Structure 1
Amino acid sequence: MTWSKDSVEDRKIPGISTFAIILIFVSLYMESKLVLFLAIFFLVIVVANKYYLKKAGDKLYLDNIYEKNHFFVEDNGQWSFIFRNEGFPILKGDLRVYFDHFVVPEGEKMESNSSMYDISIPFSIFSKQTKQVVIPFEASRRGIARIRKLEFHVPSFLGFGEIILESKSFLKQQAVVYPQPIPVKGLIEKLSVLQGVNAVPYSVYEDRLGPLGTRDYIFSDSFNRIHWKASAKKQTLQTKVFEKISEKGWTIFLNVSNGHSMTAQIEKLISGMTEIAYYAYNKQIPYSLCINVRTAGSTPFLFLPKGEGKEQLQKALETLASISTQNTSIPYEYMLSFYNRHLTSQPFFIHTGIRTEETNRILLKVGQRGAKVLELTIEQEYGVLSELGILNDRRVRL
């Protein structure tokens, strides 16, 4: 960890220096060793003070270790710092830590300053000493909290001035606070009639790569389904039995913008999507996320590829936690067009957020391609998942 360093010298130092020089002349005039001693004493104080302000903190090191921890709201966690001092001792210093307001210092009732908290901790460390500083906190709201800055205010050991050390490196610790779900009415598992790769109890499609077993032949069975080896062994015709498969999958789209600003319902929409993610995890439904937050890369928006299970849930919650009012959005219609041109469609498409006339036209095209288009809306303190009303509205024309 590198530090930027500023030193502030007490205004008394120039006066003391001037006074010491005067004493030297007085001692020579009076031929007084006592006065000369006092002059030298004051000069030593001035020089020692300047030297300490120049050297203190030069060899103070922080182990800047990457650490990302995940929390639910009201969970407890901590920031942890390990300092090593190879230089001058630091006595009665003041460590100031600035971090995002998604976590709150434990046991403190404080107001955040400009979306950040800053706390002050007494700090002393001797030469050749290693010291750990722990700051406990409580997760308070959805988001990704980072340590934005560390500052040391170190007073001169003689009391004439101080030095200020400020972190120059990016601090690697993060606290990811997951969003809280809200109930979503109408959230049920739906399977498409498209052929796919997911095993289901009932489907018109089968996995022909390998039979699960055989059963007795019946008159309606196709001739090419007969398992000849099993038939020869049992001396009666046997029919191959294949695993039933179908396609399950959701594509969840979130429009975070309302014109040029973030939509006012963003938190509840994210909470509704969180509930959908939990439901998909419990029902083993694969899904992908598309959010019109600008990113760098081949996909110019927040995109979570199709997946399922615990790992997909964690990625989804972290993606939703990362959405901030500081984000820059891209036009929602552009994201929809990009999806239609470049991404694999799923049998179920869930739209969330503001819709415009252009949005409606594109969503109609999505529905015409075979996807069942649903919409997540917010009513008071819960979400509602329903079929998109415009699909049956003849007044909307492409």
Structure 2
Amino acid sequence: MNWIRYENGFKTIHNGMLLTAALFMLSAIFALSALAACFAAVFAMLAFQNVYFSKLGEGLNVKINAKQQRILIGHEEELIMEFENGRVPIWNATLILSMEDSVAPRHEFTKNYSGIYDVYIPFAIGSNQKTEIRVPLEGKKRGKSRVTRVFLEIPHLFGDGSVNMELKDPVNYQSLVYPKVTNLGSELAPSPFKPGEIQQRQSLFTDPFQPIGTRDYVPTDRFDQIHWTASARMQKLQTKEFLPVSAQNVMLMMNALEKDRSNEDFEKKIERIVAYADYCTKNDIPYAVAINLRTFGSRPYLFLPTGSGKVQFQMVMEMLAKISDKYAKLPFDEMMQHMESSGQLPPTIVLVTHENDNIKRYIHRWTKRFSVIVDSSFERNEDEWEKQHLKKTGTDSVIPSA
């Protein structure tokens, strides 16, 4: 692997070698054998250090076992690094790992500088040997964390100075910290506007391929709905009954633009999107996700097509773990206009957005054809949101103070 070397203190070593060599020659000329032996020993020591540190780090390779880890906030993982050395051993070194702060290293020698953690680990490896270093990590906040720097600091054996080695090759490793999964606190009602495949007790539509019984004929029933076999058996006309169904596809739309003077608005909206995605996954409801972050392609915003199940939920979690509030954003009403013009809006639309006058006209128009839910619960206190959706039971009554 390619390392960038930074050498410090070699000029002092070279000057010391010249000085001890001159003193050795003077001692030899004046036949001061004991003094000459001392200067020869010092010269040999400095020459050994010069040769040793000039060859240091040749053949040193590092390998990371896992290239990508996926964890939740508060969960733990391990960064495993395998070092393989060449012929020159490395003693008394310090390994410095720098990584982004979505994960926090659980190590006693750790420093944090403006979004970057530096981990200091004692390091030593023999000639032609392998060693493994494990760094325990904990998910701290939603996002992705990469190892930005691998740095070796090796002090001189004698005197001041050091050799610093920085890995030039990029480290192909990152940790994805998924957003926190919370309970939705409410239910998604199916849309009454379109037929579908989801069974519902009350619906305007029925599935003709799923008969569930018969009933007495009424004059408004169609002729092709009469069950002739049952009518002959009952000696009166019977009409087929079919399973009532409704479409329940959901579009989750998030406004990434933050409200003025609102802290952590972006993160709270993501948590609400995750709550809806979790609810749809548990109830096997197909859903799509759209976020007004600028992207390239036919859609100028971030979009995940309709899907269901654990695979869709995994894709949503990965997408939300990778985005940032620093990305360029598209006005929310422009994204709504583009989706409306595409003609692919599902029966149920969830808008996770703060109050905005620019989108009210779209909401007013969409409510005539779709079931539209405007969710701004993230602006309230979490306790108030839970109390709003708490079912009233006998145990929920307030106990007056004595």
Letter in 2 for 1:59: G
Instruction: Please show how residues 234-383 of structure 1 align to structure 2 within 5 Å.
Output: 244-258=244-258, 264-342=264-342, 344-377=344-377, 378-381=379-382
Q: Deviations over 1:76-105 (max 9, x none)?
A: 222111111124211111011112222222
Cα deviation for residue 120 of structure 1 reads 0.3
In the TM superposition, what whole-angstrom CA distance separates every residue of 1:307-345 from its partner, at most 9, and x where no partner exists? 222222222233333343443333323322332234721
TM-score (norm 1): 0.79
Structure 1 contact 5–166 (Cα < 8 Å) conserved: yes
The 5-angstrom pairing of residues 101-116 of structure 1 reads 101-106=101-106, 108=108, 112-116=112-116
Q: CA offset at residue 216 of structure 1?
A: 6.2
Measured at CA, do residues 383 and 181 of structure 1 come closer, stay the same or move farther in structure 2, by a change above 3 Å? farther
| Structure 1 residues 105 and 35: CA distance shift in structure 2, 3 A | same
**1:269 partner SS:** helix
Instruction: Give the SS at the match of 1:192.
Output: coil
Q: Identify which range, 51-60 or 241-250, moves more after superposition.
A: 241-250
RMSD of Structure 2 on Structure 1 (CA): 3.7
Rate the CA distance shift 1:206–1:5 in 2: closer, same or farther, 3 A: farther
Structure 1 window deviating more from structure 2 (263-272 vs 144-153): it is 263-272
On the 8 A contact 1:183/1:382 being kept in 2, the answer is no
- What secondary structure does 2:5 align onto? strand
With over 3 angstroms needed to count, the CA separation of the structure-2 counterparts of 1:199 and 1:361, relative to structure 1, is closer
CA contact 1:184–1:383 (8 Å) conserved in 2: no
Letter in 2 for 1:138: E
Counterparts of 1:152-163 in structure 2, within 5 Å, are 152-158=152-158, 161-163=161-163
Q: Which amino acid aligns with 1:49?
A: Q
The answer on whether the counterparts of 2:200 and 2:246 sit within 8 Å (CA) in structure 1 is no
Please report the TM-score for the alignment, with normalisation by the length of structure 2: 0.79
- Is 2:214–2:227's contact at 8 Å kept on the other side of the alignment? no
Aligned position for 1:174: 174
Report how far residue 44 of structure 1 moved. 4.3
Report the equivalent of 1:192. 191
One-letter identity of the residue aligned with 1:319:
M
Query: Do 1:257 and 1:263's aligned partners in 2 also have CA atoms closer than 8 Å?
Result: no
Match for residue 59 of structure 1? 59
* Cross-structure match for 2:74: 74
Question: CA distance change for structure 1 residues 217 and 58 in 2, over 3 Å: closer, same or farther?
Answer: same
Over 3 Å counting, the alpha-carbon distance change for 1:298 and 1:107 in structure 2 is same
Shift of 1:2: 3.3
Q: Which amino acid aligns with 2:329?
A: S
Secondary structure of 1:344's partner?
coil
Q: 1:42 to 1:362 in 2, by over 3 A?
A: farther
* Equivalent AA in structure 2 for residue 379 of structure 1: R
For the 8 Å contact 1:257–1:354, the answer to whether it is kept is no
Q: 1:110/1:219 Cα in 2 relative to 1: closer, same or farther (>3 Å)?
A: same
2-structure distance, mates of 1:260, 1:10: 56
- Deviation string 1:24-83 (CA, Å, 9 cap, x unpaired) is 542564366766666655554444433333322231111244533232332222211111
Q: What is the CA distance between 1:125 and its match in structure 2?
A: 0.9
The 1:164–1:110 alpha-carbon spacing in structure 2 relative to 1, beyond 3 Å, is closer
SS in 2 for 1:257: coil
Q: Which residue of 1 aligns with 2:18?
A: 18
CA distance in 1, matches of 2:22, 2:359: 83
Q: Please tell me whether the aligned partners of residues 347 and 371 of structure 2 are also in contact (alpha carbons under 8 angstroms).
A: yes
Contact 1:363-1:373 within 8 A present in 2 as well: no
**Distance apart, 1:145 and its partner CA:** 2.3
Q: Report the 3-state secondary structure (helix = DSSP H, G, I; strand = E; otherwise coil) of the residue aligned with 1:328.
A: coil
Q: Structure 1 342/63 Cα, relative in aligned 2: closer, same or farther at 3 Å?
A: farther
Correspondence for 2:120: 120
Answer with 38-47 or 73-82: which moved more.
38-47
Flag the 1:207–1:366 CA change in 2: closer, same or farther, 3 A.
same
Deviations 1:104-139 (A, max 9, x none): 222649663211211100011112211110011222
Q: CA deviation at 1:301?
A: 3.0
| Greater shift in the superposed pair: 27-36 or 83-92 | 27-36
Displacement of 1:217:
8.8
- Which amino acid in 1 is paired with 2:13? I
Aligned-residue sequence identity (percent) comes to 24
Separation (CA, whole Å) in 2 of partners of 1:194 and 1:76? 46
Partner Cα distance (1:127, 1:262) in 2? 57
Looking at structure 2, the residues matched to 11 and 204 of structure 1 have their Cα atoms a distance apart, in angstroms, of 88
Gaps of 5+ in 2: 389-402
SS at match of 1:63: strand
Alignment-mate amino acid for residue 319 of structure 2: T
**Cα distance change on mapping 1:204 and 1:359 into 2, 3 Å:** closer
1:189 alignment partner AA: L
Shift of 1:181: 4.2
Say if 1:149 and 1:40 are closer, same or farther in 2 by CA, change over 3 A.
same
Verify the 8 A CA contact 2:206 2:244 in the aligned structure 1: yes
